[in-house]
Structure 1
Amino acid sequence: MAKEGPNWEGLLKWSLSHSDGTNSSRNLSEEDRRWFMEAMQAQSVDVIRRMKEITLVMQAPEHVLESQGITPQDIEDMLDELQEHVESIDMANDLYSIGGLVPLLGYLKNSHANIRAKAAEVVSTVVQNNPKSQQLVMEANGLEPLLSNFITDPDVLVRTKALGAISCKHPGHNKPGITAFRLANGYAALRDALGSESVRFQR
């Protein structure tokens, strides 16, 4: 479930009120307050820097990554890290700004099933309760590979994760998404999922 970015100011106030029961009402000096906020902002900058690094890796062709000794497992681990970063709605929206959304969507077509599944899981986090990122994914034609993976992928985990990402887009409030889902025979695929041998996929 996507979360709002940290409320550093609120955290600061809480820390002050709980750090010293005998002096909980003391005022923080402007210098200390500035230091605290700069430290927290620096942490945000570090996350953005790391997301940019991950974006560069996602943009690299598969054969280039292989030549550098980067394995599919390395990519999965990298996507796990990215997913943690985009749990903040602000960071999820920043992923588009730094050019990371399109290559992430490209991973939905990766030759490795586990990477396709993990990419769909990250997309789920990006769009969860986030209308702005939902719209950005639609504009980047991200629904098409998700639908394709849900309907035709031979790997049941990929199909499950793709459906999870589709369902996070609030289809009840997304008429273009509903239309695309219907035209792609998504409802027939949902019916077929009920007959799957995978209980997780049925759910």
Structure 2
Amino acid sequence: MNNKGSGRRHIRLLSNRVVVGAVGGGWVPGMDLLPRARLWFPLTLFLLFLALSWVGDTASNKSSSVGGMFWATAKDELSQVERSDAEEPAAVEPDEMEEGGFSSVESMLQWAIGHSDPAKLREAAQDVKHLPSSEIKKRQAELQDLMEKLKMPSDADLMKVAIADLNNSSLSFDERYRALNELLILVEPIDNANDLYKLGGLDAVIKGLNSSESEIRTMSAWVLGEASQNNPLVQKQILNLGALQKLMKLVASSPVEEAVKALYAVSALIRNNVEGQQIFYAADGELMLRDIMSNSSCDIRLRKKSAVLAADLAVSLSANTHAPVTAFLHGSLFLKTVVDLTAEYDLDLQEKALIAIRSLLQLGTTEAKIFKDFCELGKALENMRRKFEELMLEEDQKEFVQELEILRQEVEHVFLKKLEKVPE
């Protein structure tokens, strides 16, 4: 399975979702199986496993199988316990555990046995020994059924549950928010993201963009951005459902986090996507980016993302002959807005501005004179050089500023080469 992101395992999101079967049947919700320190079965369940295995196989004194898993007989276990009373509890080997938990239910059971009280094990075995055979068989059947239920659900199963929760209007805010958070993790692998539409997930998530609750709108935008990142199939599906225009409106939202996640989704949807870029341009994408970049009171994350998106659009236009030709990428007001970012105090924003300027300079549609006369790019680059010289005296910033100066020189070189082509 191909992964787009960090590869966080879906097992992590089972906290507060996975349910554990009680011995008497039925489900006990809310038990957390995830964190290693809390990955614990009730001790009585293990005792019953061991005791039933011993009683059920006394005649043959062979290994007993419960729920498809093979265990040594209780008699063998008790002998082993007596031999190791003075020893430290058995530790779980590193290869028995996976990220976020145990590699299997069997290794989890073995770990619990090694950390159980030997006296209690012996006592439980003696108690079960006197049970009627009918009662023993009943409990063995219940345990086998339990083991079947404890099998880890697939990603598709988890996605179906989360989608069903989103479509259930009777659920609380916390439950719907949790469902979106689970989908956010699940759609990281490309294969899972591709299944989202088939499972009805895209419709459910896009519906969340219209929620009256900002947190739901924020999470919905985040899920859409994660699913469409570098994924042309999902990009097309989301665009066909008309979500881009909704996301662009959310970029202007007053809750900052909502605006940030909406712009992230917008960028993911139109990156290297001609159809998405056409919709973006038609919906006044220029004005949206220009307003953000020119607003010094705007959240710095939005300004940075806007500069990155401007660079992406320029690269896309330069590399793809089928990309839509748009006036704003070489419009004087837009170019000046990007150049003005070089005067901002934030070095990371300055770096993103330089990258955007370099990409815009390399477009054949941009004019060198506009950069020189209207945007005053030469003056801006010189001011950056002086500022970087001062900052290099500060040891904690020296290395990063040196990298910025190299980038600044590269932009200056591209700018001067572009000016050379301008007839006198």
In the alignment, which residue of structure 1 is the partner of 2:419?
none
| Paired position in structure 2 for 1:139 | 240
Shift of 1:106: 0.9
- Give the residue type in structure 2 aligned to 1:110: S
Deviation at 1:81?
1.3
Are the equivalent residues in 2 in contact too, given 1:124–1:165 (CA < 8 A)? yes
Structure 2 residue matching 1:168: 3-state secondary structure: helix
Amino acid at match of 1:79: L
Find 1:198's aligned residue among 299, 302, 308: 299
Q: Deviations over 1:122-178 (max 9, x none)?
A: 11110111111111111121212112212x42322211111101111243x322212
CA distance change for structure 1 residues 5 and 90 in 2, over 3 Å: closer, same or farther?
A: farther
Out of 89, 93, 97, the residue aligned to residue 198 of structure 2 is 97
Query: Closer, same or farther in 2 for the Cα pair 1:144/1:170, shift >3 Å?
Result: closer
Q: If you compute each CA radius of gyration, which structure gives the higher value, 1 or 2? A: 2
Match of 2:162 among 42, 54, 69: 54
**Could you tell me which residue of structure 2 aligns to residue 39 of structure 1?**
none
What does 1:41-190 align with in structure 2 at a 5 Å threshold?
46-61=154-169, 64-65=170-171, 70-71=172-173, 73-150=174-251, 152-171=252-271, 173-190=272-289
CA-based RMSD of the aligned residues comes to 2.3
Give 5+ residue unaligned stretches, structure 1: 7-18, 20-41
Report if aligned partners of 1:146, 1:163 keep a CA contact under 8 Å in 2: yes
TM-score (norm 1): 0.70
Q: Please report the TM-score for the alignment, with normalisation by the length of structure 2.
A: 0.35
CA distance in 2, matches of 1:202, 1:149: 15
Whether contact under 8 Å (2:224, 2:265) holds in the other structure is: yes
What is the total number of aligned residue pairs between the two structures?
159
- What residue is the counterpart of 1:16 in the other structure? none
Query: CA separation in 2, counterparts of 1:50 and 1:169?
Result: 25
Kindly provide the amino acid, as one letter, of the partner of residue 107 in structure 1: G
Contact 2:208 2:220 in 1 (8 A): yes
Deviations 1:35-80 (A, max 9, x none): xxxxxxx85x62211111111111123xx22xxxx22x33222211
Q: 3-state SS of the aligned residue for 1:169? A: helix
| 1:85-105 CA-partner distances (Å, limit 9, x unpaired) | 111100011111111111101
* Contact 1:146/1:166 (8 A) holds in 2: yes
| Mapped partners of 1:55, 1:77: distance in 2 | 11
| Structure 1 residue matching 2:4: 3-state secondary structure | coil
Q: Which has the higher contact order (CA 8 A, sep 6+)?
A: 1
Contact 1:117 1:158 in 2 (8 A): yes
Instruction: After TM superposition, give the deviation of residue 115 of structure 1 in Å.
Output: 1.2
Aligned partners of 1:189 and 1:157: how far apart in 2? 17
| Matched AA of 1:74 | E
Inter-partner Cα distance in structure 2 for 1:110 and 1:175:
29
1:113 Cα deviation (Å)? 0.9
**Pairing partner for 2:4 from 2, 5, 11:** 2
- Mapped to 1, the partners of 2:6 and 2:279 lie a distance apart of 29
Q: Which runs of 5+ in 2 are unaligned?
A: 9-94, 96-150, 305-424
Q: Contact 1:83–1:125 (CA<8 Å) still a contact in 2?
A: yes
| 1:87 match: secondary structure | coil
SS of 2:258 mapped into structure 1: helix
The separation in 2 between residues aligned to 1:133 and 1:182, in whole angstroms, is 20
User: Larger % of helix: which?
Assistant: 1
